[in-house]
Amino acid sequence: MFQQLKNIDTAFKHIRLFNVVLLVAYTIVCCFMIASSFQAIEKAQQRVYLVVNGKAVEAFASTRQENIPVEARDHVKVFHSLFHTLSPDEKAIQATIQKALYLADESAKAQYDDLKEKGYYASVISANVSQEVVYDSVMVNTSSYPYYFKYYGKQRIIRSSAIITRSLVTDGYLRTVDRSDNNPHGFLIERWTTIENRDLSISKR
C-alpha cells in the first residue's frame, strides 16, 4: 500500500512538473505572439499608401539628403517651364511669371523686368505668339553648397507664319528654404543667368 502511495506521489510530482513546464512554454509563446503583433501593427502604421490611377501604391519615406538631387532638378525644371511658357494673354503671363518668381531670387525678377521693359511680353500678346520650353537635362552639383546647376533646353516660339526653335542654356545656384505651397521643393534659385539663347531652326507654317 505504501508503495502505491509512493507511486501516486511520484506521478503527481511528474504531472505537476509537466504542467509547470507546459505553462511556462505557453507563457513564452503568448509573449512572443503579443510582441510580434505589436511589431506588425507598428510597421503597418508606418506605411503610407497613395492612390495612383485608381491603384494603391505604397510610399516609402526617405531623408531630405537622399532626395536633394531629384528635387533640385525638378525645381529647376519647373521654374524654367513657368518662366518661359507664354501665351498671348496678359493675365496668363502674369500668373505663370508670378509662380516662377516664388522659386527664384531677384536675378529672375531682373530678367523679367528687362524683358518687360524691352516690350517682349507686349509683342507676344499683340502678335498672338505662343512660347513653350522643351526640357533636355539639368546638371546639379550637390558636393558644395549652395548647389550649382546648369539647365539645357529649347524654346519653341510659335508664330502665325513660322515656328522658331531656340537653344536655352542657363545656370545658377540653389539654396534651401522652407517649403511652402508656393515653393514645395524648398529651394530658391540664385544668381540665375542665361548663357545661351540663339536660333537653331525656323520652320514655315
Report the sign of the C-alpha dihedral through residues 192, 196, 201, 204, in that order: positive
Radius of gyration of the CA atoms of the chain, in A: 34
Which residue type is seen at 145? Answer: Y
Q: What's this model's pTM, rounded to 2 decimal places?
A: 0.70
Cell of 16: 505537476
pLDDT tens across the length of the chain (205 residues): 545 545 666 766 667 777 777 778 778 887 888 877 777 666 655 555 556 556 555 555 555 666 899 999 999 999 999 999 999 999 999 999 999 999 999 999 999 999 999 999 999 999 999 999 999 999 999 999 999 999 999 999 999 899 999 999 999 999 999 999 999 999 999 999 999 999 999 999 8
8 A C-beta contact, residue 76 and residue 174: yes
